[in-house]
């Protein structure tokens, strides 16, 4: 009997590890397996790249790094860690590698906390011709391209900036939901936050340790609209609540690629159980304008949620201990205090 198509839940991800399809340099850590994804951990070093690259169908990442001019220098992440600077592109080997069986593919995405501090990440594989996609049957190491856009970040081995979701064949698309922007907050409350440039380093392990006012300024709409400044980064929130049932997983996607004036999200995975608490949760949107100022109005559609079927209900749902954003409204990343 054929196994069901869909997104693999936590206990099937653990079975992949037990069977050798997911290999780890260090034992898995508590909370690393999420209801429908696996957090990926940085290894011991990083490479400062001259430019981003894809290996293409005939080359490995290691072969690319040996070519003249591809990387500028190697950075040791051990001891006290290392600071990754804004405007630079880094490639970091990951502690996890894969030996996927036929019929199992994977897709990666930045973690929510990564997107909310404007750190752009993309997964790279040997002979890869697309970022973030892992073909069925892939066997080899994993690498993460990391590019801080607004804040420099301090990283160490074991830090988790991205997550990977495993899929058996092509999951059934259950439904799609349009997400619009909320620019009518309660009186006296901001509708979002705009990142301050040149505001210091974010230590990825400094949970709640960074003073919000040093990194962000509140955004107050006028007549239900704001103007996005070119190349500035904003945290905004959806008008709608988001609920993901235990039998489905969701991913945020562009609503219309031709609307090229701004990018409305970086981190797009929503685990089973997200928003099923009393009152629901809203989607926090990482927004960056592009080349020209752009007016954003209350209720304007900015993205869509694509819901896919799970192969089975996860053992744990989002909202269990360790879930940082259940029940959220407008909320910065976990690195910032109230």
When mean pLDDT is compared across 30-34, 260-264, 313-317, the lowest value belongs to: 260-264
How many CB atoms are located within 10 Å of the residue 34 CB? 23
What does DSSP assign to residue 25? S
* pLDDT per residue as tens digits for the range 119-178: 999 999 999 999 999 999 999 999 999 999 999 999 999 999 999 999 998 888 889 999
Contacts of 29 (CB under 8 A, 6+ apart): 41, 158
CA distance linking residue 249 with residue 163, whole number of Å:
14
Q: Is the dihedral of CA 85, 88, 94, 100 positive or negative?
A: positive
pLDDT at 1: 39
pTM above 0.75, yes or no: yes
- pLDDT average, residue stretch 315-325: 75
Task: Output the pLDDT for position 266.
Answer: 60
Q: Give me 37's structure tokens.
A: 């994804």
pLDDT tens figures, 41-78 = 999 999 999 999 999 989 999 999 999 989 889 999 99
Domains plus CATH for the chain? 6-171 (2.70.40.10), 174-309 (2.70.40.10)
Q: Which residues contact 100 (CB under 8 A, 6 or more apart)?
A: 21, 106, 134, 136, 137, 138, 139, 166
């Amino acid at each position: 009997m054929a196994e069901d198509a869909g997104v693999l839940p936590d206990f099937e991800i653990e079975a992949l590890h037990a069977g050798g399809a997911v290999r780890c340099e260090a034992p898995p850590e508590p909370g690393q397996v999420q209801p429908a994804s696996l957090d990926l951990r940085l290894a011991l070093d990083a490479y400062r790249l001259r430019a981003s690259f894809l290996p293409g169908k005939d080359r490995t990442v290691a072969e690319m790094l040996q070519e003249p001019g591809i990387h500028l220098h190697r950075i040791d992440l051990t001891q006290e860690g290392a600071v990754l600077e804004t405007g630079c592109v880094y490639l970091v080997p990951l502690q996890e590698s894969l030996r996927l069986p036929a019929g199992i593919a994977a897709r990666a995405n930045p973690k929510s906390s990564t997107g909310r501090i404007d750190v752009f990440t993309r997964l790279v594989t040997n002979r890869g011709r697309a970022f973030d996609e892992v073909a069925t049957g892939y066997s080899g190491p994993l690498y993460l391209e990391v590019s801080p856009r607004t804040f420099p970040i301090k990283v160490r081995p074991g830090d988790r900036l991205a997550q990977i979701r495993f899929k058996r064949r092509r999951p059934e698309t259950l439904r799609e939901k349009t997400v619009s922007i909320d620019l009518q907050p309660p009186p006296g409350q901001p509708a979002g936050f705009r990142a301050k440039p040149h505001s210091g380093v974010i230590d990825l392990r400094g949970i709640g340790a960074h003073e919000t006012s040093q990194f962000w300024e509140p955004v107050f709409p006028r007549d239900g609209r704001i103007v996005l400044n070119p190349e500035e980064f904003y945290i905004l929130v959806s008008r709608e609540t988001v609920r993901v049932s235990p039998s489905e997983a969701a991913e945020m996607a562009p609503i219309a690629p031709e609307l090229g004036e701004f990018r409305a999200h970086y981190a797009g995975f929503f685990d089973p159980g997200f928003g099923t608490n009393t009152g629901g949760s809203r989607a926090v949107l990482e927004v960056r304008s592009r080349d020209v100022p752009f007016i954003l109005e209350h209720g304007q559609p900015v993205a869509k949620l694509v819901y896919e079927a799970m192969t089975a209900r996860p053992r744990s749902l989002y909202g269990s201990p360790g879930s940082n954003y259940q029940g959220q409204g407008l909320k910065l990343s976990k690195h910032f205090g109230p």
